[in-house]
Structure 1
Amino acid sequence: MNDGKLAYATCPATEAEESISDEMLLKSVAEGDKTAMHIMFARHRARVLHFIQRTVRNPGIAEDLVSQVFLDVWRSANRFEYRARVSTWLLSIARFKAINSLRERIHESIDQDDVHGIADAGDTPDIALDRKETNGILRACIAKLSPAHREIIDMVYERENSPSEVSEMLDIPLATVKSRMFYARKQLASMLVNAGFEVPTSTRRGKQSHLAACI
């Protein structure tokens, strides 16, 4: 196994391999058993990939993150404390990787929105400047939210996941997701008003603005 890279064939497991529990496999992985690691990868790869894809919405990035997840399993199997199911542990690693990937991309995504807005042929220089300043205010206010509320804003409004999808991805109750959405929007609206910004309900084209979508 190359450090930093994971490449496994996903061959169908034999009946004997299927009978081995995840816990026994992980113990063997912790002892450096590459065959056990191959079985673990084949058994859980599809579920981990599906979980990550629903978060990052990018097949190429998802495949890369899957490799990172199982590389972490190989490196840290000896630190697993068996307080939860192995499959739950795998998805917690996958969630961490996926959310970090989204956080790294959020600023790039917002910057692209700025570029598209400025490049709009229907915008006057004043409108383009106002849109850029609005996005700057929004970025600054989002940055002041708590990590949990920033995460909700990102996953629901930036990545357009449904509350039920976010509930599954974060492994928290749907009611908790909705509560965080409510308080994140409330705090964001308050900060924007304090910044002297009048919250719009729509753009001049009749579509919901990026700002209005968040609050």
Structure 2
Amino acid sequence: MQNVVAINAAARQSIDAAQAASDEMLLEGIADGNRTAMHILYARHNVRVYRFILRIVRDASVAEDLVSQVFLDVWRTAAQFEGRSQVSTWLLSIARFKALTSLRQRRFEDIDQDDVREIPDGADTPEASLDRATTNEILRACVAKLSPAHREIINLVYYHEKSVEEVGAIIGIPQSTVKTRMFYARKQLADLLRGAGVDSLAA
């Protein structure tokens, strides 16, 4: 009995240690075949990866399938991660490649990346929730009117909070190009928001 308790305690300590580990440390564990590390990395990032893919493919079932493929790739190729970017950036790079490949296979020409509907804050009043939902709807509609390249930039910078350097790594373009696209994307989006009567967001 004591042996079982000791084993369970050791297992809990191992799980706790993995949960406290950085993404980089988890990848090292995954490269060594540690399934617990894989589960924890998945739990940390699967929602963000799913939302990112969904904005590209606009099909929930396809997005779910691609998320599985992304993390299967992580399991197989964790040892290849060189630490040149954040793990989250690396994951989105894999996700973007798979999403675009899926679109090409389905022969979609327009890459639409409408934002996923935000879940209202439970602390909001009904009026505040309604106002925010309306604002989010207008924002999504305006973002949808941007070119595919500009939508992608807005998606990564604002929804995924990626830096210029990280965006360049994910898309595979120079940082100067990221900055140029960002400038024109923000300008166009601001004009669209003003036209929709949402001056606060346009600013």
Residue 162, structure 1, aligned to residue 162, structure 2: no
* Aligned residue number for residue 175 of structure 1: 180
CA–CA separation in structure 2 for the residues paired with 1:161 and 1:38: 38
Q: Render the CA deviation track for 1:168-193: whole Å, top value 9, x for unaligned.
A: 457353633798xxxxxxxxxxxxxx
Q: Render the CA deviation track for 1:13-40: whole Å, top value 9, x for unaligned.
A: x764442100000000000111110111
Rg: which structure is higher? 1
Q: How does 1:2-13 map to 2 (within 5 A)?
A: none
**TM-score normalized by structure 1?**
0.49
CA–CA separation in structure 2 for the residues paired with 1:68 and 1:178: 33
Give the superposition deviation at 1:59.
0.1
Unpaired stretches in structure 2, ≥5 consecutive residues: 1-14, 113-143, 157-166, 169-177, 185-203
Tell me: CA distance 1:104–1:35, structure 2 relative to 1, closer, same or farther (3 Å): same
CA–CA separation in structure 1 for the residues paired with 2:60 and 2:179: 26
Unpaired stretches in structure 1, ≥5 consecutive residues: 1-13, 110-152, 180-215
**TM-score normalized by structure 2?**
0.52
CA RMSD, Structure 1 to Structure 2 (Å): 2.8
CA–CA separation in structure 1 for the residues paired with 2:45 and 2:146: 25
Give the superposition deviation at 1:154.
3.1
* Aligned residue number for residue 78 of structure 1: 79
Give the superposition deviation at 1:105.
1.3
Give the superposition deviation at 1:104.
1.2
CA–CA separation in structure 2 for the residues paired with 1:23 and 1:45: 16
Q: How does 1:29-178 map to 2 (within 5 A)?
A: 29-106=30-107, 154-155=110-111, 162-163=146-147, 164-168=150-154, 171=167, 173=178, 175-176=180-181
Give the total of aligned pairs: 120
CA–CA separation in structure 2 for the residues paired with 1:56 and 1:175: 25
